[in-house]
């Protein structure tokens, strides 16, 4: 969420930078509301000062005037509340501002390729999709999931189910043992205020799965990503700089309606309503956000490197970043059946944008209270990692070679062979 004082200092610059994020703003409406609010503050302060003078005089003849002043002050206060609510309604729907080095553009076409890593396999046969591989193995069943749950769900069976679990456990071990993230097993259901804190609400409510409980309680939602619950662990807290950085990791199911993706990736596991993801979250001093972003991205890259999967690193443009991000690196893994790279991780610095919404603060070395910086990243999306392994490690007979680093998690299994269930 944005600070109105900072907006006020350079309105035109703020308007331009918001428009770079593909978001509309009527800057005159914002300015008029701010001016009205400031004028009311000054008027109220003047009346309060006048009332204070009357009170000190102890002149009974001025009692009625004092009472009238109190009534006027109360009316101003009520008017202020309305104006501030209108102001906040505008501010809470505005995305974070992109940093200076982020490419300006309307969509992914303006993204910048930073690096390409690993060797793309030159198959001697036409590589199959994970959809066909899984069907031939008898270990992925979309038809059964469609009967029980509807579209965009899947049953994984046998060794493919084991491989999914192995991928998740491997990622958690690397992030906790090599990079000192603290593993968390969090709730998968959160309140509306929690979703507001990280920026999913109010703007993206239609994309979320709401859970209906008793009618008197606050709205609750299934988490679209563990970023929501992990980041909110510092909500409404005042930390010490000595407690920072805080680095958290969780492997959870995630739930998304995918409301804006009608017709996209309708076949296979690439875009599901329910999927598993290993999420990284960092809470740092705000001046260290970019340093932490580089570190977090390297942590995610290390998973792909250890799995020996070809990938590339992308710097997202202003029009392709998430709502709360100020800078984002995407990692895209090579998918042979599509002959292109697909997103498998997104690592973002949010600066103090989420912290303002959550009222998450810390005391620095000078005992000054400031908002913390927050970051989040996929380390990695488990389902898409499974897809990448199946397709990049497939053999011409439809078998899947297990990456060496995963074999200890697969009871020593080296090859997934065709079976029937």
| Res 389: pLDDT | 98
CATH fold of 4-91:
Helix Hairpins (1.10.287)
β-bridge partners, 221 = 190, 210
Distance between CA atoms of 261 and 214, rounded to whole angstroms?
31
* pLDDT, tens only, 380-392: 999 999 999 999 9
Determine which of 70-79, 287-296, 315-324 has the lowest per-residue pLDDT on average: 70-79
* pLDDT, tens only, 64-80: 888 888 899 999 999 99
* pLDDT, tens only, 144-177: 999 999 999 999 999 999 999 999 999 999 999 9
0.75 surpassed by pTM = yes
Q: Name which of 83, 79, 91 is nearest 32 in CA terms.
A: 83
For residue 368, how many C-alpha atoms fall within 13 Å in the half-sphere facing its CB?
4
Going by pLDDT thresholds of 50, 70 and 90, the confidence category of residue 264 is confident
Pair type for strands 246-255 and 182-183: parallel
Instruction: Please provide the average confidence, as pLDDT, over all residues in the chain.
Output: 94
H and E: helices and strands count for the chain: 12, 18
Q: Is 219 exposed, middle or buried (0-12, 13-18, 19+ CB in 10 A)?
A: middle
Q: Is 226 exposed, middle or buried (0-12, 13-18, 19+ CB in 10 A)?
A: buried
Q: How far apart are the first and last CA of the chain?
A: 51
Residue boundaries of the structural domains of the chain? 4-91, 108-416
Q: Where are the alpha helices (DSSP H) in 122-157?
A: 130-137, 142-149
Phi-psi region of 64 (alpha: psi -120 to 50; beta: other; left: phi over 0): alpha
Q: Name which of 84, 112, 87 is nearest 317 in CA terms.
A: 112
For the chain, the residue count is: 421
Q: Exposed e or buried b for every residue in 359-394, given b needs 16+ CB within 10 A?
A: ebbbeeeeeeebbbbbbbbbbbbbbbbbbbbbbbbb
Compute the average pLDDT of residues 252-276: 85
Going by pLDDT thresholds of 50, 70 and 90, the confidence category of residue 263 is low
Question: Would you tell me the crossing angle of helices 63-91 and 27-57 to the nearest 10 degrees?
Answer: 160
Class of the 108-416 domain?
alpha beta
| Res 55: pLDDT | 78
Compute the average pLDDT of residues 280-305: 98
Pair type for strands 373-381 and 340-349: antiparallel
Element (H, E) at 374: strand 373-381
């Amino acid at each position: 969420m944005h600070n109105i004082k900072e907006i006020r200092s350079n309105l035109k610059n703020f308007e331009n930078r918001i428009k770079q994020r593909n978001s509309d703003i009527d800057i005159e409406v914002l300015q008029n509301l701010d001016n009205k609010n400031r004028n009311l503050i000054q008027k109220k302060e003047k009346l309060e000062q006048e009332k204070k003078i009357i009170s000190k005089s102890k002149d009974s003849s001025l009692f009625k005037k004092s009472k009238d002043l109190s009534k006027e002050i109360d009316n101003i206060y009520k008017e202020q509340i309305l104006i501030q609510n209108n102001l906040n309604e505008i501010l809470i729907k505005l995305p974070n501002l992109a940093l200076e080095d982020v490419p300006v553009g309307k969509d992914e076409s303006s993204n910048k390729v930073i690096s390409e890593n690993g060797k793309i396999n030159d198959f001697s046969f036409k590589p199959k999709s994970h959809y066909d591989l899984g069907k031939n193995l008898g270990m992925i069943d979309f038809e059964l999931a469609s009967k029980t749950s509807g579209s965009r769900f899947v049953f994984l069976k046998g060794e493919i189910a084991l491989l999914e679990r192995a991928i998740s456990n491997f990622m958690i071990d690397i992030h906790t043992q090599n990079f000192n993230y603290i593993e968390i097993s969090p709730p998968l259901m959160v309140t509306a205020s929690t979703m507001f804190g990280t920026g999913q609400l109010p703007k993206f409510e239609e994309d979320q799965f709401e859970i209906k409980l008793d009618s008197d309680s606050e709205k609750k939602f299934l988490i679209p990503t563990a970023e929501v619950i992990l980041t909110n662990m510092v909500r409404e807290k005042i930390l010490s700089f000595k407690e920072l950085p805080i680095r958290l990791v969780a492997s959870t199911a995630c739930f998304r309606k995918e409301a804006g993706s009608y017709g996209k990736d309708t076949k296979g596991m690439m875009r599901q309503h329910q999927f598993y993801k290993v999420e990284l979250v960092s809470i740092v001093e705000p001046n260290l956000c970019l340093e932490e972003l580089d570190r977090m991205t390297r942590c995610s890259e290390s998973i792909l490197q250890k799995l020996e999967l070809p990938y590339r690193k992308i710097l997202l443009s202003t029009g392709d970043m998430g709502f709360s991000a100020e800078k984002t690196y995407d990692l895209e893994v090579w998918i042979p059946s599509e002959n292109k790279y697909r997103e498998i991780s997104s690592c973002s610095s949010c600066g103090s944008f989420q912290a303002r919404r959550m009222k998450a603060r810390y005391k620095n070395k000078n005992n000054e209270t400031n908002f913390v910086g927050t970051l989040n990243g996929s380390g990695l999306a488990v389902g898409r990692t499974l897809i990448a392994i199946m397709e990049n490690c497939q053999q011409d007979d439809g078998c899947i070679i297990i990456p060496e680093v995963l074999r200890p998690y697969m009871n020593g299994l080296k090859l997934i062979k065709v079976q029937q269930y």
